Amino acid sequence: MSGYKSVNPATNQLLKQFPDHQDEAVEAALAQADRLYHSAWSKGEIQPRLQVLEKLADLIESRVEALAVIASQEMGKLIGQSRGEVKICAQIARYYARQAAQQLQPQPYASELGDAWIEYHPIGVIVAVEPWNFPYYQLMRVLAPNLALGNPVLAKHANNVPQCAEAFAQLVEEAGAPAGAWTNLFISNQQVADLIADDRVQGVALTGSERAGSAVAQQAGKYLKKSTLELGGNDVFMVMDDADIREAVRQGAQARLSNCGQVCTAAKRFILHQDIAAPFLQQLRDAFAAVTPGDPLDEKTTLGPLSSAEAHERLIKQVNNAIAHGATVECGGKAIAGVGCYFQPTILTGITRDNPAWFEEFFGPVAQVYVVASEAEAVALANDSHYGLGGSVWTQDIARGRRLASQIETGMVFINSQSDTAAELPFGGVKRSGYGRELSDLGIKEFANQKLVVIS
Ligand code: NDP
Tell me the per-residue pLDDT of 11-70, one tens digit each, with 9 for 90 and over: 999 999 999 999 999 999 999 999 999 999 999 999 999 999 999 999 999 999 999 999
Residue type, 12: N
What pLDDT does 1 receive? Answer: 43
Q: Which of 153, 92, 149 is nearest to 126 (CA)?
A: 153
164 is catalytic: no
**Contact in structure between 267 and 252 (CB atoms under 8 Å):** yes
Q: CA-CA distances (angstroms) from residue 309 to 14, 18, 81, 119, 346?
A: 12, 19, 21, 48, 19
Residue type, 124: G
Which sign does the torsion angle of CA 174, 75, 250, 242 carry? negative
Residue 120 backbone dihedrals phi, psi, to 5 degrees: -110, 125
Instruction: Round the average pLDDT of the chain to a whole number and report it.
Output: 98
Q: Which of 342, 337, 251, 255 is nearest to 294 (CA)?
A: 342
For residue 306, the CA-to-ligand 1 centroid distance in Å is: 15
Task: Give the separation between CA 105 and CA 145, rounded to whole angstroms.
Answer: 14
For residue 25, the CA-to-ligand 1 centroid distance in Å is: 23
For residue 131, the CA-to-ligand 1 centroid distance in Å is: 6
Q: Which of 284, 298, 271 is nearest to 413 (CA)?
A: 271
Task: Give the separation between CA 170 and CA 70, rounded to whole angstroms.
Answer: 14
If one residue of 209, 412, 431 were mutated to test the ligand 1 pocket, choosing by the most ligand atoms within 8 A of its CB, it would be 209
Task: Give the separation between CA 64 and CA 295, rounded to whole angstroms.
Answer: 19
The closest residue, in CA terms, to atom 29 on ligand 1 is 209
Which sign does the torsion angle of CA 162, 428, 313, 332 carry? negative
The closest residue, in CA terms, to atom 10 on ligand 1 is 158
What is the phi-psi region of residue 340: left when phi exceeds 0, alpha when psi lies from -120 to 50, beta otherwise? left
* Cβ-Cβ contacts under 8 Å for 200 (sequence gap 6 or more): 30, 31, 33, 34, 124, 125
Does the C-beta of 229 come closer than 6 Å to ligand 1?
no
Task: Give the separation between CA 42 and CA 435, rounded to whole angstroms.
Answer: 26
For residue 233, the CA-to-ligand 1 centroid distance in Å is: 13
**Contact in structure between 118 and 107 (CB atoms under 8 Å):** yes
Does the C-beta of 230 come closer than 6 Å to ligand 1?
yes
* Residue 159 Cα: closest atom of ligand 1: 46
* 1-16 pLDDT, tens digit each: 459 999 999 999 999 9
230 is catalytic: yes
Q: Count of alpha carbons within 13 Å of 321, Cβ hemisphere only?
A: 14
Q: CA-CA distances (angstroms) from residue 56 to 53, 59, 62, 93, 352?
A: 5, 5, 10, 7, 49
What pLDDT does 137 receive? Answer: 98
**Contact in structure between 270 and 239 (CB atoms under 8 Å):** yes
Annotated active-site residue in 89, 164, 260, 264: 264
Q: Which of 73, 77, 97, 76 is nearest to 85 (CA)?
A: 77
* 80-94 pLDDT, tens digit each: 999 999 999 999 999
DSSP string, 4-71: EEEEETTTTEEEEEEPPPPHHHHHHHHHHHHHHHTSHHHHS-SHHHHHHHHHHHHHHHHTHHHHHHHH
| 3-class DSSP assignment, residue 419 | coil
**Residue percentage of the chain with pLDDT more than 70:** 100
Task: Give the separation between CA 326 and CA 32, rounded to whole angstroms.
Answer: 56
Task: Give the separation between CA 268 and CA 289, rounded to whole angstroms.
Answer: 18
Does the C-beta of 438 come closer than 6 Å to ligand 1?
no
The closest residue, in CA terms, to atom 28 on ligand 1 is 209
Beta bridge partners of 446: none
Q: CA-CA distances (angstroms) from residue 306 to 126, 127, 267, 271?
A: 30, 27, 17, 25
Does the C-beta of 365 come closer than 6 Å to ligand 1?
no
* 393-420 pLDDT, tens digit each: 999 999 999 999 999 999 999 999 999 9
Q: Count of alpha carbons within 13 Å of 245, Cβ hemisphere only?
A: 16
* 147-204 pLDDT, tens digit each: 999 999 999 999 999 999 999 999 999 999 999 999 999 999 999 999 999 999 999 9
**Contact in structure between 413 and 390 (CB atoms under 8 Å):** yes
Helix (H) or strand (E) holding 253: helix 245-257
For residue 168, the CA-to-ligand 1 centroid distance in Å is: 19
Does the C-beta of 209 come closer than 6 Å to ligand 1?
yes
DSSP class of residue 293?
B
* Residue 134 Cα: closest atom of ligand 1: 40
Calculate helix-pair angle for 64-75, 47-62, nearest 10 degrees: 70
* Cβ-Cβ contacts under 8 Å for 347 (sequence gap 6 or more): 281, 284, 285, 288, 329, 330, 331, 332, 366, 367, 369
* Cβ-Cβ contacts under 8 Å for 7 (sequence gap 6 or more): 13, 14, 15, 74, 160, 308, 309
The closest residue, in CA terms, to atom 22 on ligand 1 is 212
Annotated active-site residue in 166, 230, 438, 446: 230
Does the C-beta of 156 come closer than 6 Å to ligand 1?
yes
Does the C-beta of 129 come closer than 6 Å to ligand 1?
yes
